[in-house]
């Protein structure tokens, strides 16, 4: 499932600053309502809130090799979990 949708896009606004996007990759269905609630209602940084939301399904960040120049990764160990890709974009209008 692609959110907001395969035919839609995300655009930065005129407010300078940092935009953050969390992309979740999973071969199994994710309860997005539960994840969204946990991200909004848990304390801590985004990594801690993702861990609270996904529990043991989240592949630990240290078991994922992220590419620096593109949105790609290679997970080590188990391959049936959820990999979180955190994207941060600094922009000026």
Please report the pLDDT score of residue 57 as a whole number: 92
The pLDDT tens digits for 27-76 are: 888 988 889 998 899 889 988 999 989 999 999 989 999 998 888 899 88
Residue 3 has a pLDDT of 63
Structural domain that includes position 81: 17-91
Composition of the chain by helix, strand, coil, percent to 5: 25, 30, 45
Q: Output the pLDDT for position 1.
A: 63
Instruction: Look at residue 80 and tell me if it is in a domain.
Output: yes
Query: Phi-psi category of 61—alpha, beta or left, where left has phi over 0 and alpha has psi -120 to 50?
Result: alpha
- Is 2 part of a structural domain of the chain? no
| Residue 11, in any domain of the structure | no
Q: How far apart are CA 47 and CA 49, in angstroms?
A: 5
**Does the residue 83 lie in any domain?**
yes
Decide if 85 is inside a domain: yes
**How many structural domains are present in the chain?**
1
């Amino acid at each position: 499932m692609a959110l907001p949708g395969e035919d839609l896009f995300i655009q930065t606004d005129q407010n300078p600053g940092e935009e953050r996007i969390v992309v979740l990759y999973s071969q199994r269905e994710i309860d997005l309502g539960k994840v969204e609630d946990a991200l909004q209602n848990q304390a801590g940084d985004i990594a801690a809130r993702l861990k609270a939301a996904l529990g043991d399904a989240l592949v630990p960040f240290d078991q994922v090799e992220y590419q620096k120049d593109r949105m790609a990764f290679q997970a080590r160990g188990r391959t049936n979990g959820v990999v979180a890709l955190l994207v941060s974009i600094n922009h000026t209008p």
